[in-house]
Chains A and B, each alone.
Chain A
Amino acid sequence: MSSQDIPEETLPSKQGEAHEGAVAVAGDPFADPGLPPHEHRIQDIDERAAKRSERAVAFMFTLSMLATIGFIAAYLAIPVDKNIYVFPIGHVSAMNFTLGLTLGVALFLIGAGAVHWARTLMSDVEHIDERHPIEAPSEVRAKVIADFHQGAAESAMGRRKLIRNSMFGALSLLPLSGVFLLGGLSKAPGTKLRHTAWGKGKRLVNQNTNQPLRPEDIQVGSLTFAMPEGMKEEDHDFQNQIAKAALMLVRLRPENIKDKKELDWSVDGIVAFSKICTHVGCPINLYEQQTHHVLCPCHQSTFDLSDGGRVVFGPAGHALPQLRIKVNDKGYLEAMGDFQEPVGPAFWERG
């Protein structure tokens, strides 16, 4: 498109000198010159350019229609379980990929068309609106205040204090009913957080195999997860119980155990600790066999299993509780009681 093609009469004549709302302050080079004159776009002066814009907008709207038809076709034709390989994403659901792209294109082109229309064909002449102060004029304010005082006086609210005070009393007591209704959300915590499914004589069952554990099942350097015998996934409260009873076992060399109580509570160097992090309750699942440290993957609290489960790094506030275990006369590992302190995150009543 060269400028010679533009018909002479549509060319903007000399750009307007007069600025709208100009503030002429003699001698002030920084004075507001007012709104600059409107500058014409090519579409404003060349009908052929405007036509091209019109065709571009219509083309986008038409493509959008095609994309919607594509969406419907894909919805009907593609099997819901079909996977396709798309470079570079990999294997994806064919339906998700096709529906998403056709929908995306159909939507985007409506938007692009509308914006192109607005930018090239709708008037871009700037207008000025006056602002008015948000606050009311003083006579309105005076009127409202007077009305309010009249209304307040007519209600006798200030004069009849008995009514006012008893009304405030009634209104402030009423929400208590709602507070009590919320009481149905739960029973009081009681001592629930202090007890787990462990108890004297409960055998330690391997979580993976569901078999009772013997000391020889636990090798140096491995991390074994266990739960109390008798717990089944099908139990209605399995989730609540496993949230507290989850246990991890490692075998250390007895001479490497630094904490005397830990050594007493272990058997053949096998120590059993709660798997639930004492920070905010994530399960711990990373074990570093050289240092005997375990790490919680949520907030990186690190505990030393050779030193009474002490916190060596991270935000946890106290050591992992240890479960006292022994080997029973049949050669299986069993608990000698419940944990002696609450497992998991600390709470106000923990003590």
Chain B
Amino acid sequence: MSTADTTTTRAGAQGRKAPAGERVADWADGRLGIYTLAKGGMRKIFPDHWSFMLGEVCLYSFLIIILTGVYLTLFFHPSMNEVVYHGSYVPMQGVRMSEAFKSTLDISFDVRGGLLIRQIHHWAALVFIAGMMVHMMRVFFTGAFRKPREINWLFGFLLLVLGTFTGFTGYSLPDDLLSGTGVRIADGLVMSIPLVGTYISFYLFGGEFPGTDFVSRFYSIHILLLPGIMLGLVVGHLILVFYHKHTQFAGPGRTNKNVVGMPLMPVYMAKAGGFFFLVFGIIAAISAIATINPVWELGPYRPDQVSTNAQPDWYLGMSEGLFRIMPGWEISFAGHTLVLGVFIPLLVFGAVLTIMAVYPFIESWVTGDKREHHILDRPRNAPTRTAFGVAWLTLYGVALMAGGNDLWATHFHLSVNSVTWFVRISFFVGPVLAFIATRRICMGLQRRDKDKVLHGRESGIIKRLPHGEFVEVHEPLTQEQLHTLTAHEQPRPLALEPEVDENGVVRKVKGTQKLRVRLSKSYYGEDRYVPKATAKEYQEITSGHGHH
């Protein structure tokens, strides 16, 4: 690159005018340094696996929510001033309602395309949170949260929690009968907090429930505070994905020190960019054919009215379930009430989420593993982690089921009391059974992998031997398959240091250290893995008789 004449463009120094696009890029580079950024980014390699698109679903639904949300703010009035409805929806004419509810009716019935945007907004929110859950499962079960990605796991976790609260404040805004009931429940939960609950409730609602403030307060939380934080977290999340480079599954040519795949430009620009349109298109089509949250059927909120089958959006079903199955414990003493029947589920809800947030740190403490991990685990090769994840999901599922105990009862003609008792017991038993079963299944799958490595793939072809015996022909695996199936590590558990060191001095072993060794054994102990096939075993079998 000639630098002799700095007044010409860089290409121009070679005697011709650069294309317009290049000149714009040169201009921008002189001010923003874009070439340096693009050097590492434009042809960045991303590995390919179907499960890597789950995070994209979240990102795109988040963008869709922002786009449609901005549109909705143009028409929505976050006010609890009461008005009498005279709009075009006949059944509600003459009904007293808040301006928030009225403007929601207007968006649904009078704004052209308003109902569609409202429904896209709501559907995208459901997809967003569902997507985050499934994306987190992918990251969890493949161990993608391990060093160096623990902080990105926390970013993602915060996005899930904030997404949940954003969803709740959002569906409370129309001030309809169902959402008002939800806000009422939230108020009851807040009031159960010892010492400060009543005050938090009053400061949230500007006085007694419902007051006339919560819609405008939830509005600024819903459209400004939480999405602002989330946008920052999303950007940080993506920067870290770029910086760490994506994880990949083991396979031929794929190591912990490289990343194999196709470049961002053009393949992933087209695939990921196109995927945005696919997600948006599907959500738009769903919103065209599936009504969501028809607030006009329920009417405006009145604290003394309720619809039966009151259900929150799905992502609050788990917490709803915890409140439904808890016995009504209440302790009154010295002029105070400890509302354990509500406060304990509130704590359990927090604990169920927090355990997921801190899991990466627990695992790295237990295993003592300080290395970087870029090769994903197959879930079967980490049986204890997989079993823990499935146990957590079982707990979540049981609580979610409890959140709809009335629906189970009415749809299957069961007693709501028996359904509740069933989930009360399952809440404790289910996760334990799931843990044990999952670990056994993982071991079984490891054993199957080992068989496959040593004896090859069952081909389905039956051969009759000269002496009349029938055997199935096993097809040996290729070296690529052999490598893929044996690429995982099988670490050994930590061991306690001897209580007497080499100089004969007795040393104290701390209780935490003992716990750590015990947990480490439950991760990596003798019966927690099927030893991988060794080269010797393989050669003994393959050099021999052709079949096992």
> A169-211: which have CB < 8 Å to B?
182, 185-189, 192-193, 207
A243 to B207, CA, bound (A): 13
**CB-CB contacts below 8 Å: A79-109 with B:** 80-81, 86, 89, 92-93, 95-101, 103-109
Question: What chain A residues lie within 8 Å of B208 (beta carbons)?
Answer: 192-193, 240, 243-244
Q: Identify which of residues 314-351 in chain A touch chain B, using a CB-to-CB cut-off of 8 Å.
A: 314-318, 344-351
A129 at the interface (CB under 8 A from B): yes
Query: Which among A114, A313, A347 is the interface contact of B273 at CB below 8 angstroms?
Result: A114
Query: Which single member of A21, A107, A279 contacts B342 (CB below 8 Å)?
Result: A279
**B186: nearest chain-A partner, CB-CB:** A280
A118-144 interface code vs B (CB 8 A; 1 in, 0 out): 110011111111110110000000000
* In contact, A315 and B328 (Cβ under 8 angstroms): yes
Q: Which of A80, A125, A286 has the most CB of B within 10 A?
A: A80
Given A97-B288, A108-B285, A283-B304: A348 touches B260 (CB 8 Å cut-off): no
Q: Say which one of A29-37, A151-159, A257-265 lies at the interface with B.
A: A29-37
The answer to whether B325 has its CB under 8 Å from any CB of chain A is: yes
Give 1 or 0 for each of B137-168: 1 = CB within 8 Å of chain A CB. Answer: 00000000000100000000000000000000
Q: A246-261 vs B: 1/0 string, CB under 8 Å?
A: 1000000000000000
Given contacts A240-B207, A282-B181, contact A28 B535 (CB under 8 A): yes
Q: Considering the complex, give the chain A residue whose CB is closest to the CB of B250.
A: A32
B400 close to A (CB within 8 Å): no
CA distance A97 to B335 in the complex (A): 58
A266 at the interface (CB under 8 A from B): no
If the complex has contacts A33-B483, A81-B109, A182-B203, are A110 and B195 also in contact, measured as CB distance less than 8 A? no
Cβ < 8 Å to A, chain B residues 241-285: 243-245, 252-263, 266-268, 270-271, 273-285
Contacts of B339 in A (CB 8 A): 317, 345-348
Contact residue among B187, B302, B325, B372 (Cβ-Cβ distance under 8 Å from A239): B302
Instruction: Please give, as numbers and ranges, the residues of chain B lying within 8 Å of A105 by CB-CB distance.
Output: 281, 285
Q: Is the CB of B335 within 8 A of A114?
A: no
Check if A317 sits within 8 Å of B287, measured CB to CB. no
Interface contact A111-B274, CB-CB below 8 Å? yes
* A215 interface contact, C-beta 8 A: no
Judge whether A59 is part of the interface by a CB distance below 8 angstroms. Answer: no
Given known A108-B277, A188-B199, contact A80–B112 (CB-CB < 8 A): yes
Provide the bound-state CA to CA distance between A129 and B320, in Å.
Answer: 47
Give the residues in chain A near B306, CB-CB below 8 Å: 282-283, 285, 297-298
Q: How far is the CB of A16 from chain B (nearest CB, A)?
A: 13
Determine whether A269 belongs to the interface, using a CB cutoff of 8 Å to chain B: no
Q: Are A99's CB and B253's CB within 8 A?
A: no
The chain A residue sitting closest to B303, CB to CB, is A243
In angstroms, Cα B119 to Cα A225, docked, is 35
- Is A289 among interface residues, defined by CB-CB distance under 8 A? no
Do residues B203 and A225 form an inter-chain contact, with CB atoms below 8 A?
A: no
User: Which residues on the B side are within 8 Å of A350 (C-beta)?
Assistant: 332, 336-337
**Chain A residues near B320 (CB, 8 Å)?**
299
Q: How far is the CB of B294 from chain A (nearest CB, A)?
A: 11
Task: Report chain A residues within 8 Å CB of B483.
Answer: 30-33
> How many Å lie between the Cα of A27 and that of B309 in the bound state?
67
Contact A80 B110 (CB under 8 A): yes
Query: A113 in the interface, Cβ–Cβ < 8 Å?
Result: yes
The verdict on A39 contacting chain B, using a C-beta distance below 8 Å, is: no
CA–CA, A7 to B62, complex, Å?
48
Among A27, A98, A100, chain B packs the most CB atoms within 10 A around the CB of A100
- Cβ of B426 within 8 Å of any chain A Cβ, yes or no, is no
Give Cα A179–Cα B197 distance, bound, in whole angstroms. Answer: 17
A311 within 8 A of B: yes
A129–B44 CB distance below 8 A: yes
Residue of A nearest to B486 (CB): A30
In the bound complex, residues from chain B placing their C-beta under 8 Å from that of A99 are 113, 116, 288
The answer to whether B253 and A104 touch across the interface, beta carbons within 8 angstroms, is: no
Q: Which of B187, B258, B304 contacts A129 (CB 8 A)?
A: B258
A54 to B261, CA, bound (A): 24
- Asked whether, in the complex, the Cβ of A315 is within 8 Å of the Cβ of B341, the reply is yes
Choice from A118, A244, A280 contacting B267 with Cβ under 8 Å: A118
| B192 on interface, CB distance cutoff 8 Å | yes
Taking a contact as CB atoms under 8 Å apart, the answer to whether A134 and B277 are in contact is no
Q: How far is the CA of A344 from the CA of B187 in the complex (A)?
A: 11
Q: In the complex, A342→B372 CA distance in Å? A: 58
A-contact 0/1 string along B532-548, CB 8 Å cutoff: 01010011001000000
Q: A100-B287, A193-B198 are in contact. List 14 more A-B contacts (CB 8 A).
A: A99-B116, A100-B120, A101-B289, A103-B284, A128-B258, A186-B202, A186-B203, A186-B204, A242-B303, A280-B342, A300-B416, A346-B192, A347-B339, A348-B191
What are 10 A-B interface contacts by the 8 Å CB criterion?
A29-B535, A30-B533, A95-B116, A99-B288, A104-B284, A111-B274, A234-B82, A279-B342, A283-B306, A315-B342
Closest 4 CB pairs of A and B: A100-B288, A280-B188, A114-B274, A108-B281
